[in-house]
Amino acid sequence: MHTKLILHLLAVSLIVLCGQTALAQTQPDPPPIEEEDEQDEDEQDEEAEELDVPETKAPPAPPIPQAEPEVEDDFDSPISDLAGMGDDVEFVPLEEIEEGLLEQISPIGLYPFVDINGWFRVRTRYNVNFDLGTGGTSLVLPPVETIAPTEQPADTSANGQWTTDLRLRLEPTLHITENLRVHIEADLLRNVILGSGARHEHFGPVGLEPGRRLGSSAQLSPPEVLQINEAYGEVDAFFGTVAAGRMDNHWGLGMFTNDGDCFDCDWGDNIDRVMYRTSLWNFYGMAAIDFPSEGVFAHQGPLRLGRPYDLSQADDSNQYTLSLFRAPLTRQDRELQAQTLFTDRDPVINGGLYFSYRTQAGQSFGASDPLIGTPNLVYRGLSLYMTDLWLQFLYEPADNRSVRVELEAVGILGSVDNITNAGVGVGEGVDGQDTQAINCFDQSQRDANLAQCTAPGNTSNSVSQFGLALETEFKLGGPVSFGINGGFATGGSTPNWGYAAETPDLAFYRFNPDYHVDLILFREIIGTVTNAYYVNPYVTASFLEVGNRRMELQFDVIASRAFDSQGAPGLQPWLGLELDASARFVLGETFLAAIDGGLLFPFAGLGAVGGQPRLASFAGQDFTDPSSASLAWTLQGRLVWGF
Question: Which domains can be identified in the chain, with CATH numbers?
Answer: 113-150+168-195+222-254+279-297+315-642 (2.40.160)
Provide, for the chain, the percentages of residues in helix, strand and coil under a 3-state DSSP scheme, each rounded to the nearest 5. Answer: 15, 40, 45
Once rounded to an integer, what is the mean pLDDT over residues 428-440?
64
Q: For residue 110, name the pLDDT band (cuts at 50, 70, 90).
A: confident
CB atoms within 10 A of CB 259: 21
Instruction: Judge residue 225's burial from the number of C-beta atoms within 10 Å of its C-beta, 0-12 exposed, 13-18 middle, 19 or more buried.
Output: middle
Tell me: pLDDT of 526 over 50: yes
- How far is 336 from 96, CA to CA, in rounded Å? 23
In this predicted structure, which of 95-104, 375-384, 508-517 has the lowest mean pLDDT?
A: 95-104
Confidence category of residue 118, pLDDT binned at 50, 70, 90: very high
Mean predicted confidence (pLDDT) in 452-458: 71
Distance, in Å, from the CA atom of 239 to the CA atom of 241, rounded to the nearest integer, reads: 7
The highest-confidence range among 32-36, 58-62, 411-415, 503-507, by mean pLDDT, is 411-415
pLDDT at 142 over 80: yes
Mean pLDDT of 230-236: 97
More confident residue, 481 or 25: 481
**Separation in Å, CA 314 to CA 122, 310, 380, 414:** 44, 10, 10, 19
Report the distance separating Cα 269 and Cα 261, nearest Å. Answer: 10
Between these two residues, 526 and 81, which has the higher pLDDT value?
Answer: 526
For the ranges 221-235, 325-339, 463-477, the lowest mean pLDDT is seen at 221-235
Confidence at residue 9, expressed as pLDDT on a 0 to 100 scale: 40
The pLDDT of 461-481, averaged and rounded, is 95
Looking at residue 502, its pLDDT comes to 74
Of the given ranges (91-95, 136-140, 426-430, 613-617), which has the lowest mean pLDDT?
A: 426-430
Choose among 291, 270, 274, 264: nearest CA to 227: 270
3-state secondary structure of 452: coil
pLDDT at 461: 82
Top-confidence residue, 520 or 301: 520
* Mean pLDDT to the nearest integer, 441-448: 87
pLDDT score, position 32: 46
Average pLDDT value for residue range 341-345: 94
Q: What is the pLDDT of residues 32-77, one digit of tens each?
A: 444 444 444 454 444 444 434 444 444 455 554 454 444 444 444 4
pLDDT at residue 83 greater than cutoff 90: no
User: What band does 260 get if pLDDT is binned at 50, 70 and 90?
Assistant: very high
Going by the DSSP 8-state scheme, the letter that residue 107 receives in this structure is P
Q: What are phi and psi of 641, to 5 degrees?
A: -110, 120
Cα separation of 189 and 220, whole Å? 9
Task: Give the per-residue pLDDT at 18.
Answer: 42
Is the model's pLDDT at 163 over the cut of 90? yes
- pLDDT band at residue 367 using 50, 70 and 90 as cut-offs: low
Own/partner contacts of 159-162, CB < 8 Å, gap of 24 or more, are 159/128, 159/129, 159/131, 159/133, 160/126, 160/127, 160/128, 161/126, 161/127, 161/128, 161/130, 162/124, 162/125, 162/126, 162/127
pLDDT at 588 over 80: yes
Compare 432 and 344 and report the one with higher pLDDT: 344
Share of the chain above pLDDT 70, in %: 73
User: CB of 630 within 8 A of CB of 129?
Assistant: yes
pLDDT exceeds cutoff 80 at 501: no
278-321: per-residue pLDDT in tens? 998 889 999 999 999 888 877 766 656 667 888 888 888 999 99
pLDDT in the model for residue 154: 92
More confident residue, 49 or 114: 114
CA–CA dist 396, 474 (Å, integer): 10
For the ranges 90-99, 495-504, 560-569, the maximum mean pLDDT occurs at 560-569
Give the mean pLDDT of 402-423.
Answer: 92
Per-residue b/e over 262-299, b at no fewer than 16 CB within 10 Å?
ebbbbebbbbbbebbbeeeeeebebebebeeebbbbbe
User: Residue 453 — pLDDT band, cuts 50, 70, 90?
Assistant: confident
Segment among 203-212, 219-228, 344-353 with least mean pLDDT: 203-212
- In contact, 128 and 519? CB cutoff 8 Å: no
**Helix residue spans in 182-306 (DSSP H):** 222-225
Q: What integer pLDDT is reported at residue 424 of this predicted model? A: 81
Averaged over 181-197, what is the pLDDT? 90
